[in-house]
């Protein structure tokens, strides 16, 4: 079972100082001065979790952040099969849950204690009260959020289609292979060979039969020269096609990776919606009999 206890400043002065120092390393609170960080730590409460105990589930309502004092947590999210895939492991001095603290939205991952865990937790109401009492701290936090938003926007602006990037990175050999494989798959390539073979074979057969001058029979039946030319062509075409297929396989792998990421995100969102619907149904059922 987890426990929640108010912080005792007199008994945990060193711990508070360490927590304040940890907050200074967190981008969201990096611009707060020492006094503001100590006030923020004083607004927190302590919680302890046993090994493998769940701190919160993905989709749960989020209204607090957690600062790890000791122990480690495992952060995971479900994949397409519903299995929880580890995303990260966090240790002392690291923070999690700050997104839900700011917007009050559902948790975006499941967090479990990987070992006995001791954390400071700050809920949304206490954080808002801290900001009201310390407007300069609120401005510092807003400036950090604005800078991070600007960086995120700039990064998104430079995101390019990976398939376009792969196409730009092609070597001349790969480009030639793709072009030849594309041409060989076209109808005009087939029609050209039908015409070529027809003229070659017809000319030699007609010359052998005396319908045309005999010197025109440059490759009499069984057409050894034609066989050699076609064999060489088949060898080189197969090489170009295999190189092009490898390129296509690489593009398909990139698309599959992107599809997987989108599917995992969609699965996560669906789970979160399902959990919220379950809570709404439970609340409606509870109110029904009493109404």
Torsion angle in degrees (nearest 10) through CA of 54, 57, 62, 63: -10
Q: Kindly tell me if the per-residue pLDDT of 148 is higher than 80.
A: no
The answer to pTM > 0.75 is no
Q: Kindly tell me if the per-residue pLDDT of 249 is higher than 60.
A: yes
Quick one: pLDDT at residue 31?
78
Quick one: pLDDT at residue 2?
44
The structure tokens 């001065």 sit at: 33
Percent of the chain predicted with pLDDT > 70 = 71
Quick one: pLDDT at residue 76?
84
Quick one: pLDDT at residue 116?
92
E strand residue ranges, 18-83: 45-49, 54-56, 64-70, 73-78
- Tell me the two tokens of residue 177: 């292979």
- Cβ(76)–Cβ(109) under 8 Å? yes
Kindly indicate the confidence band of residue 162, based on its pLDDT and cuts at 50, 70 and 90. low
Domains of the chain in start order, with CATH, are 3-157 (2.60.120.10), 162-290 (no CATH)
Kindly report which listed range (16-30, 104-118, 157-171) carries the lowest average pLDDT score.
Answer: 157-171
Instruction: Name which of 94, 97, 93 is nearest 106 in CA terms.
Output: 97
């Amino acid at each position: 079972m987890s426990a929640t206890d108010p912080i005792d400043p007199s008994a945990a002065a060193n711990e508070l100082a360490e927590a304040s120092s940890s907050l200074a390393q967190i981008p969201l609170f990096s611009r707060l001065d020492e006094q503001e960080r100590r006030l923020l730590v004083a607004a927190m409460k302590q919680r302890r979790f046993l090994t493998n105990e769940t701190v919160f589930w993905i989709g749960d309502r989020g209204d607090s952040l957690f600062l790890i004092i000791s122990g480690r947590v495992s952060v995971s999210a479900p994949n397409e099969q519903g299995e929880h895939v580890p995303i990260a492991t966090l240790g002392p001095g690291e923070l999690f849950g700050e997104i839900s603290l700011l917007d009050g939205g559902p948790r975006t991952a499941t967090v479990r204690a990987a070992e006995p865990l001791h954390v400071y937790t700050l809920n949304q109401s206490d954080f808002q009260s801290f900001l009201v009492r310390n407007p300069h701290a609120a401005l510092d936090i807003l400036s950090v959020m604005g800078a991070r938003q600007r960086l995120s926007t700039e990064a998104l602006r430079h995101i390019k289609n990976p398939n376009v990037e792969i196409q730009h990175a092609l070597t001349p050999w790969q480009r030639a292979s793709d072009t030849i494989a594309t041409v060989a798959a076209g109808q005009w390539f087939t029609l050209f060979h039908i015409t070529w073979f027809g003229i070659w074979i017809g000319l030699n057969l007609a010359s052998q039969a005396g319908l045309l001058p005999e010197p025109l029979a440059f490759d009499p039946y069984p057409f050894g020269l034609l066989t050699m030319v076609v064999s060489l062509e088949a060898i080189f075409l197969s090489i170009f096609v295999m190189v092009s297929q490898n390129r296509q396989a690489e593009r398909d792998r990139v698309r599959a990776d992107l599809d997987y990421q989108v599917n995992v995100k969609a699965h996560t969102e669906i789970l979160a919606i399902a959990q919220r619907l379950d809570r709404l149904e439970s609340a409606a059922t509870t109110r029904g009999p009493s109404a």
